[in-house]
Amino acid sequence: MAHHLIASNATIKSIKRGDARVRLADGAGLYLRLFVNGGSHGWRFDYSLNGRRNTLSLGTYPDTSLSLARKKADEARKLVSAGTDPSDVRKETRAEQTLRRTAERRATGGLPPLDSFEAVAREWHTKNVPTWAPSHSSKIIRRLEQDVFPWIGAKPVGAIRPMELLSLLKRVEERGAIETTHRVQQNCGQVFRYAVATGRAESDPSRDLRGALTPWKPEHYPTLTDAREVGRLLRDIEAYEGGFITKCAMKLSPMLFVRPGELRRAEWSEINLDAAEWRIPAGKMKGRVMHIVPLAKQAVDILQDLQALTGQSSWVFPGVRTNGEPMSENTVNAALRRLGYDRTMITAHGFRGMASTLLHECGWPSDVIERQLSHAERNAVKAAYNHAEHLPARRKMMQAWADHLDDLRKGGGKVFSLRA
Protein backbone atom coordinates (compact mmCIF):
# COMPACT_ATOMS: atom_id res chain seq x y z
CA MET A 1 0.00 0.00 0.00
CA ALA A 2 1.46 3.36 -1.04
CA HIS A 3 2.21 5.86 1.70
CA HIS A 4 -0.01 8.87 1.02
CA LEU A 5 1.38 12.29 1.89
CA ILE A 6 -1.85 14.21 1.26
CA ALA A 7 -3.83 13.55 4.44
CA SER A 8 -7.27 14.69 3.32
CA ASN A 9 -9.32 17.06 1.20
CA ALA A 10 -9.00 19.52 4.07
CA THR A 11 -5.24 19.59 3.48
CA ILE A 12 -5.85 20.74 -0.08
CA LYS A 13 -8.53 23.26 0.85
CA SER A 14 -6.14 24.89 3.33
CA ILE A 15 -3.71 25.90 0.55
CA LYS A 16 -3.82 29.60 -0.24
CA ARG A 17 -2.49 31.61 -3.16
CA GLY A 18 1.12 32.56 -2.64
CA ASP A 19 2.02 29.11 -1.33
CA ALA A 20 5.59 28.43 -2.44
CA ARG A 21 4.91 24.80 -3.25
CA VAL A 22 4.34 23.74 -6.86
CA ARG A 23 2.92 20.30 -6.12
CA LEU A 24 1.72 18.02 -3.34
CA ALA A 25 2.88 14.41 -3.61
CA ASP A 26 0.53 11.57 -2.71
CA GLY A 27 2.95 8.74 -3.33
CA ALA A 28 3.48 6.13 -6.07
CA GLY A 29 3.45 8.69 -8.88
CA LEU A 30 0.29 10.59 -7.93
CA TYR A 31 0.56 14.28 -7.14
CA LEU A 32 -1.46 17.48 -7.22
CA ARG A 33 -0.12 20.42 -9.23
CA LEU A 34 -1.16 23.61 -7.49
CA PHE A 35 -2.93 26.54 -9.14
CA VAL A 36 -2.92 25.36 -12.75
CA ASN A 37 -5.56 26.28 -15.36
CA GLY A 38 -5.89 29.77 -13.95
CA GLY A 39 -6.58 28.77 -10.35
CA SER A 40 -7.68 25.17 -9.92
CA HIS A 41 -5.37 22.33 -8.91
CA GLY A 42 -4.62 19.51 -11.36
CA TRP A 43 -4.10 15.83 -10.57
CA ARG A 44 -1.17 14.18 -12.36
CA PHE A 45 0.12 10.60 -12.41
CA ASP A 46 3.72 9.91 -13.47
CA TYR A 47 4.64 6.44 -14.67
CA SER A 48 7.33 4.60 -16.64
CA LEU A 49 6.71 2.07 -19.39
CA ASN A 50 9.21 0.52 -21.79
CA GLY A 51 11.92 2.84 -20.52
CA ARG A 52 9.91 6.01 -21.10
CA ARG A 53 8.46 8.35 -18.49
CA ASN A 54 4.95 9.65 -19.08
CA THR A 55 2.42 11.84 -17.30
CA LEU A 56 -1.34 11.26 -17.23
CA SER A 57 -3.79 14.01 -16.28
CA LEU A 58 -6.49 12.76 -13.91
CA GLY A 59 -8.72 15.83 -13.66
CA THR A 60 -8.90 19.00 -11.59
CA TYR A 61 -9.67 19.55 -7.94
CA PRO A 62 -12.34 19.80 -6.50
CA ASP A 63 -14.24 18.18 -9.41
CA THR A 64 -11.94 15.20 -8.94
CA SER A 65 -11.66 14.56 -5.21
CA LEU A 66 -8.67 13.05 -3.45
CA SER A 67 -10.32 9.63 -3.20
CA LEU A 68 -11.37 9.66 -6.86
CA ALA A 69 -7.87 10.69 -7.95
CA ARG A 70 -6.41 7.81 -5.95
CA LYS A 71 -8.88 5.42 -7.57
CA LYS A 72 -7.95 6.65 -11.06
CA ALA A 73 -4.25 6.35 -10.25
CA ASP A 74 -4.73 2.78 -8.99
CA GLU A 75 -6.49 1.86 -12.25
CA ALA A 76 -3.64 3.40 -14.26
CA ARG A 77 -1.04 1.51 -12.19
CA LYS A 78 -2.79 -1.78 -12.96
CA LEU A 79 -2.62 -1.02 -16.69
CA VAL A 80 1.08 -0.16 -16.45
CA SER A 81 1.74 -3.38 -14.51
CA ALA A 82 0.06 -5.29 -17.34
CA GLY A 83 2.28 -3.55 -19.90
CA THR A 84 -0.48 -1.29 -21.23
CA ASP A 85 -0.03 2.46 -21.60
CA PRO A 86 -2.97 4.23 -19.88
CA SER A 87 -2.51 7.19 -22.22
CA ASP A 88 -3.19 4.90 -25.21
CA VAL A 89 -6.26 3.48 -23.48
CA ARG A 90 -7.56 7.01 -22.93
CA LYS A 91 -7.05 7.92 -26.60
CA GLU A 92 -8.88 4.79 -27.75
CA THR A 93 -11.75 5.48 -25.34
CA ARG A 94 -12.11 9.05 -26.56
CA ALA A 95 -12.07 7.91 -30.21
CA GLU A 96 -14.82 5.38 -29.45
CA GLN A 97 -16.85 8.08 -27.69
CA THR A 98 -16.46 10.39 -30.69
CA LEU A 99 -17.65 7.70 -33.08
CA ARG A 100 -20.60 6.89 -30.80
CA ARG A 101 -21.65 10.55 -30.54
CA THR A 102 -21.32 10.90 -34.30
CA ALA A 103 -23.59 7.89 -34.81
CA GLU A 104 -26.13 9.32 -32.37
CA ARG A 105 -26.14 12.69 -34.11
CA ARG A 106 -26.58 11.02 -37.47
CA ALA A 107 -29.47 8.92 -36.17
CA THR A 108 -31.30 12.06 -35.00
CA GLY A 109 -30.70 13.94 -38.23
CA GLY A 110 -27.91 16.10 -36.84
CA LEU A 111 -25.36 14.93 -39.40
CA PRO A 112 -25.46 14.27 -43.15
CA PRO A 113 -25.78 10.69 -44.49
CA LEU A 114 -22.94 8.19 -44.10
CA ASP A 115 -21.90 8.50 -47.74
CA SER A 116 -21.73 12.30 -47.77
CA PHE A 117 -18.37 14.02 -48.21
CA GLU A 118 -18.57 15.56 -44.73
CA ALA A 119 -19.37 12.25 -43.03
CA VAL A 120 -16.54 10.45 -44.84
CA ALA A 121 -14.13 13.34 -44.14
CA ARG A 122 -14.94 13.35 -40.42
CA GLU A 123 -14.55 9.57 -40.28
CA TRP A 124 -11.17 9.81 -42.03
CA HIS A 125 -10.12 12.61 -39.68
CA THR A 126 -11.16 10.67 -36.55
CA LYS A 127 -9.18 7.61 -37.63
CA ASN A 128 -6.03 9.67 -38.17
CA VAL A 129 -6.19 11.90 -35.08
CA PRO A 130 -4.17 9.46 -32.88
CA THR A 131 -1.26 9.63 -35.35
CA TRP A 132 -1.24 13.42 -35.77
CA ALA A 133 0.04 16.24 -33.60
CA PRO A 134 -2.93 18.15 -32.07
CA SER A 135 -2.08 21.37 -33.95
CA HIS A 136 -1.95 19.52 -37.29
CA SER A 137 -5.25 17.76 -36.58
CA SER A 138 -7.08 20.99 -35.70
CA LYS A 139 -5.74 22.79 -38.78
CA ILE A 140 -7.08 20.10 -41.11
CA ILE A 141 -10.60 19.93 -39.67
CA ARG A 142 -10.83 23.72 -39.49
CA ARG A 143 -9.75 23.97 -43.13
CA LEU A 144 -12.43 21.48 -44.19
CA GLU A 145 -15.13 23.14 -42.10
CA GLN A 146 -14.38 26.61 -43.48
CA ASP A 147 -13.56 25.95 -47.13
CA VAL A 148 -15.12 22.61 -48.10
CA PHE A 149 -18.13 21.42 -46.08
CA PRO A 150 -20.36 24.45 -46.80
CA TRP A 151 -20.20 23.70 -50.53
CA ILE A 152 -19.86 19.93 -51.02
CA GLY A 153 -20.21 18.53 -47.50
CA ALA A 154 -23.78 17.26 -47.99
CA LYS A 155 -23.13 15.73 -51.43
CA PRO A 156 -22.55 11.96 -51.80
CA VAL A 157 -18.76 11.57 -51.85
CA GLY A 158 -18.88 9.29 -54.89
CA ALA A 159 -20.93 11.75 -56.92
CA ILE A 160 -18.62 14.78 -56.67
CA ARG A 161 -17.09 15.73 -60.00
CA PRO A 162 -13.78 17.51 -60.72
CA MET A 163 -15.49 20.77 -61.74
CA GLU A 164 -17.40 20.95 -58.45
CA LEU A 165 -14.16 20.56 -56.54
CA LEU A 166 -12.40 23.08 -58.77
CA SER A 167 -15.18 25.61 -58.13
CA LEU A 168 -14.63 25.61 -54.35
CA LEU A 169 -10.83 25.62 -54.79
CA LYS A 170 -11.08 28.69 -57.04
CA ARG A 171 -13.14 30.39 -54.35
CA VAL A 172 -10.23 29.93 -51.91
CA GLU A 173 -7.68 30.95 -54.53
CA GLU A 174 -9.55 34.18 -55.36
CA ARG A 175 -9.05 35.50 -51.85
CA GLY A 176 -5.29 35.21 -52.39
CA ALA A 177 -4.74 32.17 -50.18
CA ILE A 178 -2.64 30.20 -52.67
CA GLU A 179 -0.99 27.93 -50.12
CA THR A 180 -4.33 27.19 -48.44
CA THR A 181 -5.83 26.33 -51.83
CA HIS A 182 -3.25 23.61 -52.36
CA ARG A 183 -3.62 22.37 -48.78
CA VAL A 184 -7.39 22.09 -49.29
CA GLN A 185 -6.88 20.16 -52.53
CA GLN A 186 -4.45 17.84 -50.75
CA ASN A 187 -6.87 17.16 -47.87
CA CYS A 188 -9.80 16.60 -50.22
CA GLY A 189 -7.70 14.12 -52.17
CA GLN A 190 -6.92 12.23 -48.97
CA VAL A 191 -10.64 12.05 -48.16
CA PHE A 192 -11.56 10.87 -51.66
CA ARG A 193 -8.88 8.17 -51.57
CA TYR A 194 -10.20 7.02 -48.20
CA ALA A 195 -13.68 6.89 -49.73
CA VAL A 196 -12.35 4.75 -52.57
CA ALA A 197 -10.63 2.41 -50.10
CA THR A 198 -13.86 2.02 -48.09
CA GLY A 199 -16.04 1.43 -51.13
CA ARG A 200 -17.93 4.73 -51.20
CA ALA A 201 -16.33 6.29 -54.27
CA GLU A 202 -14.90 5.07 -57.56
CA SER A 203 -12.15 7.64 -58.03
CA ASP A 204 -10.38 10.71 -56.66
CA PRO A 205 -11.51 13.80 -58.65
CA SER A 206 -8.69 15.93 -57.19
CA ARG A 207 -6.23 14.07 -59.41
CA ASP A 208 -7.88 15.51 -62.53
CA LEU A 209 -7.15 19.09 -61.43
CA ARG A 210 -3.38 19.08 -61.84
CA GLY A 211 -2.31 22.31 -63.51
CA ALA A 212 -5.67 24.01 -62.93
CA LEU A 213 -4.54 26.04 -59.91
CA THR A 214 -2.00 28.82 -59.49
CA PRO A 215 1.35 27.08 -58.83
CA TRP A 216 2.70 27.17 -55.30
CA LYS A 217 5.94 25.95 -53.82
CA PRO A 218 6.60 25.77 -50.08
CA GLU A 219 8.78 28.69 -49.03
CA HIS A 220 11.88 28.05 -47.01
CA TYR A 221 11.91 29.72 -43.62
CA PRO A 222 14.08 32.85 -43.72
CA THR A 223 17.42 32.45 -41.99
CA LEU A 224 20.96 33.78 -41.75
CA THR A 225 23.92 31.81 -43.11
CA ASP A 226 26.66 34.44 -43.43
CA ALA A 227 29.19 33.86 -40.63
CA ARG A 228 29.37 37.54 -39.67
CA GLU A 229 25.57 37.89 -39.55
CA VAL A 230 25.22 34.71 -37.50
CA GLY A 231 27.89 35.95 -35.08
CA ARG A 232 26.09 39.28 -34.70
CA LEU A 233 22.79 37.50 -34.00
CA LEU A 234 24.40 35.31 -31.34
CA ARG A 235 25.91 38.38 -29.66
CA ASP A 236 22.50 40.07 -29.72
CA ILE A 237 20.94 37.01 -28.10
CA GLU A 238 23.66 37.04 -25.44
CA ALA A 239 22.82 40.68 -24.71
CA TYR A 240 19.03 40.08 -24.63
CA GLU A 241 17.51 41.84 -21.61
CA GLY A 242 14.14 40.10 -21.54
CA GLY A 243 13.08 37.12 -19.44
CA PHE A 244 15.67 34.51 -18.45
CA ILE A 245 13.56 31.57 -19.68
CA THR A 246 13.10 33.21 -23.08
CA LYS A 247 16.80 33.97 -23.30
CA CYS A 248 17.66 30.33 -22.61
CA ALA A 249 15.23 29.21 -25.32
CA MET A 250 16.87 31.63 -27.77
CA LYS A 251 20.37 30.39 -26.91
CA LEU A 252 19.34 26.75 -27.34
CA SER A 253 17.41 27.31 -30.59
CA PRO A 254 20.48 27.58 -32.88
CA MET A 255 22.46 25.08 -30.82
CA LEU A 256 19.92 22.23 -30.91
CA PHE A 257 18.02 23.24 -34.10
CA VAL A 258 14.93 21.22 -33.24
CA ARG A 259 11.53 22.43 -34.42
CA PRO A 260 10.20 25.38 -32.35
CA GLY A 261 7.24 23.36 -31.09
CA GLU A 262 9.54 20.56 -29.95
CA LEU A 263 11.72 23.00 -28.02
CA ARG A 264 8.98 24.92 -26.23
CA ARG A 265 7.21 21.70 -25.23
CA ALA A 266 10.36 20.07 -23.83
CA GLU A 267 9.86 18.40 -20.44
CA TRP A 268 12.43 17.74 -17.75
CA SER A 269 11.46 14.06 -17.70
CA GLU A 270 12.79 13.75 -21.27
CA ILE A 271 16.20 15.23 -20.50
CA ASN A 272 19.13 13.37 -18.95
CA LEU A 273 21.81 15.92 -18.12
CA ASP A 274 24.20 13.25 -16.82
CA ALA A 275 24.02 11.43 -20.16
CA ALA A 276 23.92 14.75 -22.05
CA GLU A 277 20.90 13.60 -24.01
CA TRP A 278 17.33 14.73 -24.73
CA ARG A 279 14.93 12.04 -25.94
CA ILE A 280 11.82 13.56 -27.51
CA PRO A 281 8.86 11.12 -27.39
CA ALA A 282 7.37 9.97 -30.69
CA GLY A 283 4.05 11.67 -29.88
CA LYS A 284 5.71 15.09 -30.01
CA MET A 285 7.59 14.54 -33.26
CA LYS A 286 6.35 15.46 -36.72
CA GLY A 287 7.38 12.02 -38.00
CA ARG A 288 5.87 10.29 -34.93
CA VAL A 289 9.21 8.59 -34.16
CA MET A 290 11.25 9.15 -31.00
CA HIS A 291 14.16 11.54 -31.61
CA ILE A 292 17.49 11.76 -29.75
CA VAL A 293 19.18 15.15 -29.35
CA PRO A 294 22.78 14.91 -28.09
CA LEU A 295 23.52 17.83 -25.77
CA ALA A 296 26.80 19.65 -26.14
CA LYS A 297 28.55 20.86 -22.98
CA GLN A 298 27.22 24.37 -23.63
CA ALA A 299 23.65 23.08 -23.85
CA VAL A 300 24.03 21.15 -20.59
CA ASP A 301 25.31 24.32 -18.86
CA ILE A 302 22.30 26.33 -20.07
CA LEU A 303 19.86 23.62 -18.98
CA GLN A 304 21.49 23.27 -15.56
CA ASP A 305 21.07 27.00 -14.97
CA LEU A 306 17.48 26.82 -16.19
CA GLN A 307 16.69 23.79 -14.05
CA ALA A 308 17.31 25.83 -10.92
CA LEU A 309 14.45 28.09 -11.98
CA THR A 310 11.97 25.76 -13.72
CA GLY A 311 12.95 22.33 -12.39
CA GLN A 312 9.83 22.09 -10.26
CA SER A 313 7.68 22.45 -13.36
CA SER A 314 7.19 19.56 -15.76
CA TRP A 315 8.00 22.01 -18.59
CA VAL A 316 11.55 23.14 -19.27
CA PHE A 317 10.09 26.40 -20.60
CA PRO A 318 6.87 27.05 -18.65
CA GLY A 319 4.59 29.82 -19.84
CA VAL A 320 4.32 33.14 -18.05
CA ARG A 321 0.71 32.43 -17.11
CA THR A 322 0.09 30.01 -14.25
CA ASN A 323 -2.07 27.70 -16.35
CA GLY A 324 0.28 24.74 -16.53
CA GLU A 325 1.12 25.31 -20.20
CA PRO A 326 4.55 25.76 -21.81
CA MET A 327 5.73 29.05 -23.28
CA SER A 328 3.77 30.49 -26.19
CA GLU A 329 4.64 29.48 -29.74
CA ASN A 330 5.29 33.17 -30.50
CA THR A 331 7.75 33.79 -27.65
CA VAL A 332 11.05 33.24 -29.50
CA ASN A 333 9.85 35.00 -32.64
CA ALA A 334 8.67 37.98 -30.59
CA ALA A 335 12.05 38.14 -28.84
CA LEU A 336 13.83 38.11 -32.22
CA ARG A 337 11.66 41.06 -33.31
CA ARG A 338 12.64 42.92 -30.12
CA LEU A 339 16.26 42.41 -31.12
CA GLY A 340 15.54 44.00 -34.51
CA TYR A 341 15.27 40.86 -36.68
CA ASP A 342 12.03 40.99 -38.67
CA ARG A 343 10.30 37.97 -40.18
CA THR A 344 12.04 38.44 -43.52
CA MET A 345 15.43 37.94 -41.86
CA ILE A 346 14.99 34.95 -39.54
CA THR A 347 12.31 33.05 -37.62
CA ALA A 348 12.54 30.50 -34.82
CA HIS A 349 12.18 27.76 -37.43
CA GLY A 350 14.98 29.35 -39.47
CA PHE A 351 17.62 28.12 -37.03
CA ARG A 352 17.15 24.68 -38.60
CA GLY A 353 18.02 26.02 -42.04
CA MET A 354 20.98 27.90 -40.58
CA ALA A 355 22.39 24.72 -39.05
CA SER A 356 21.70 22.62 -42.15
CA THR A 357 23.39 25.07 -44.51
CA LEU A 358 26.48 25.67 -42.39
CA LEU A 359 26.92 22.02 -41.43
CA HIS A 360 26.79 20.98 -45.07
CA GLU A 361 29.21 23.75 -46.04
CA CYS A 362 31.67 22.51 -43.44
CA GLY A 363 31.65 19.00 -44.87
CA TRP A 364 29.62 17.03 -42.36
CA PRO A 365 27.95 13.98 -43.95
CA SER A 366 24.47 14.69 -45.26
CA ASP A 367 22.94 11.56 -43.74
CA VAL A 368 24.23 12.56 -40.28
CA ILE A 369 22.82 16.07 -40.64
CA GLU A 370 19.47 14.84 -41.97
CA ARG A 371 19.10 12.34 -39.14
CA GLN A 372 19.80 15.06 -36.57
CA LEU A 373 17.26 17.32 -38.29
CA SER A 374 14.78 14.44 -37.81
CA HIS A 375 13.63 14.71 -41.38
CA ALA A 376 10.91 12.13 -41.92
CA GLU A 377 11.96 8.66 -42.94
CA ARG A 378 9.72 7.49 -45.80
CA ASN A 379 9.86 3.87 -44.63
CA ALA A 380 7.78 3.88 -41.43
CA VAL A 381 9.06 0.48 -40.27
CA LYS A 382 12.68 1.53 -40.73
CA ALA A 383 11.97 4.87 -39.01
CA ALA A 384 10.83 3.13 -35.85
CA TYR A 385 14.27 1.58 -35.40
CA ASN A 386 16.77 4.14 -36.68
CA HIS A 387 16.34 6.95 -34.15
CA ALA A 388 19.85 6.16 -32.89
CA GLU A 389 21.37 5.93 -36.38
CA HIS A 390 24.75 7.72 -36.67
CA LEU A 391 24.49 8.65 -32.97
CA PRO A 392 28.28 8.72 -32.22
CA ALA A 393 28.84 10.96 -35.25
CA ARG A 394 25.87 13.11 -34.26
CA ARG A 395 27.29 13.58 -30.74
CA LYS A 396 30.60 14.70 -32.22
CA MET A 397 28.86 17.00 -34.69
CA MET A 398 26.63 18.63 -32.07
CA GLN A 399 29.62 19.45 -29.84
CA ALA A 400 31.60 20.80 -32.80
CA TRP A 401 28.56 22.85 -33.84
CA ALA A 402 28.18 24.38 -30.36
CA ASP A 403 31.91 25.20 -30.33
CA HIS A 404 31.58 26.80 -33.76
CA LEU A 405 28.67 28.95 -32.58
CA ASP A 406 30.81 30.10 -29.63
CA ASP A 407 33.57 31.03 -32.08
CA LEU A 408 31.16 32.98 -34.29
CA ARG A 409 29.71 34.78 -31.27
CA LYS A 410 33.20 35.87 -30.26
CA GLY A 411 33.84 37.21 -33.75
CA GLY A 412 35.72 34.28 -35.22
CA GLY A 413 34.80 32.21 -38.23
CA LYS A 414 37.06 29.21 -38.46
CA VAL A 415 35.71 26.24 -40.42
CA PHE A 416 34.92 23.23 -38.31
CA SER A 417 34.62 19.70 -39.68
CA LEU A 418 35.05 16.05 -38.83
CA ARG A 419 38.66 16.89 -38.02
CA ALA A 420 37.58 19.55 -35.52
For 245-257, the pLDDT digits (tens) are 999 999 999 999 9
Q: Quick one: pLDDT at residue 99? A: 61
Instruction: Tell me the per-residue pLDDT of 191-228, one tens digit each, with 9 for 90 and over.
Output: 999 999 988 888 899 988 888 888 876 666 788 988 88
Residues 259 and 202 reside in one and the same domain: no
Query: How far apart, in whole angstroms, are the C-alpha atoms of residue 242 and residue 411?
Result: 23
SS3 of residue 156 by DSSP: strand
Q: Quick one: pLDDT at residue 33? A: 85
Read off the pLDDT of each residue in 181-192 and give the average, rounded to a whole number: 93
Specify the number of domains making up the chain: 3
In a domain, 1, yes or no: no
Final residue of a domain: which of 140, 175, 209? Answer: 209
259 is catalytic: yes
Residues 105 and 244 reside in one and the same domain: no
Residues 299 and 393 reside in one and the same domain: yes
Final residue of a domain: which of 48, 63, 84? Answer: 84
Residue 80 CB burial class (10 angstroms; 0-12, 13-18, ≥19):
middle
Residues 330 and 272 reside in one and the same domain: yes
> Which range among 4-8, 184-188, 302-306 shows the weakest confidence by mean pLDDT?
4-8
Query: How far apart, in whole angstroms, are the C-alpha atoms of residue 224 and residue 353?
Result: 8
Residues 347 and 382 reside in one and the same domain: yes
Question: Which stretches of 312-365 are DSSP H helices?
Answer: 331-338, 350-361
Over 70: is that where the pLDDT of 116 sits?
yes
Residues 64 and 154 reside in one and the same domain: no
CATH number reported for the structural domain that contains residue 30 in this entry? 3.30.160.390
215 contact partners, CB below 8 Å, separation of at least 6: none
352 is catalytic: yes
Over 50: is that where the pLDDT of 419 sits?
no
Q: Quick one: pLDDT at residue 129? A: 83
Residues 104 and 79 reside in one and the same domain: no
Residues 187 and 104 reside in one and the same domain: yes
Instruction: Tell me the per-residue pLDDT of 59-105, one tens digit each, with 9 for 90 and over.
Output: 888 888 888 999 999 999 999 888 888 888 887 776 676 667 666 66
Q: Quick one: pLDDT at residue 379? A: 47
CB 128 within 8 A of CB 149: no
> Which range among 106-120, 246-260, 346-360, 385-399 shows the weakest confidence by mean pLDDT?
106-120
The CA–CA distances, whole Å, from 116 to 111, 119, 339, 383, 388 equal 9, 5, 51, 36, 45
Q: What is the largest CA-CA distance in the chain?
A: 71
Of these residues, 143, 182, 279, 352, which one is catalytic?
352
In a domain, 268, yes or no: yes
Instruction: Tell me the per-residue pLDDT of 121-140, one tens digit each, with 9 for 90 and over.
Output: 999 999 888 777 666 788 89
Kindly report the number of other CB atoms within 10 A of residue 342's CB atom. 10
Residues 326 and 394 reside in one and the same domain: yes
In a domain, 219, yes or no: no
In a domain, 215, yes or no: no
CATH number reported for the structural domain that contains residue 128 in this entry? 1.10.150.130
220 is catalytic: no
Strands 30-36 and 52-61: unpaired
210 is catalytic: no
Of these residues, 139, 286, 390, 395, which one is catalytic?
286
In a domain, 415, yes or no: no
Of these residues, 375, 382, 410, 414, which one is catalytic?
375
Question: Which stretches of 129-265 are DSSP H helices?
Answer: 134-147, 149-152, 162-174, 178-197, 227-238, 244-256, 260-264
Read off the pLDDT of each residue in 296-308 and give the average, rounded to a whole number: 95
Of these residues, 41, 284, 349, 371, which one is catalytic?
349
Of these residues, 207, 220, 360, 385, which one is catalytic?
385
Read off the pLDDT of each residue in 382-396 and give the average, rounded to a whole number: 76
286 is catalytic: yes
> Which range among 1-10, 109-118, 281-290 shows the weakest confidence by mean pLDDT?
1-10
Specify the amino acid at residue 33.
R
Of these residues, 44, 182, 259, 279, which one is catalytic?
259
385 is catalytic: yes
pTM of this prediction? 0.54
Specify the amino acid at residue 300.
V
Residues 289 and 338 reside in one and the same domain: yes
User: In terms of residue numbers, what domain contains 141?
Assistant: 93-209
Instruction: Tell me the per-residue pLDDT of 29-41, one tens digit each, with 9 for 90 and over.
Output: 898 888 765 567 8
The CA–CA distances, whole Å, from 414 to 235, 255, 310, 364 equal 17, 17, 35, 15
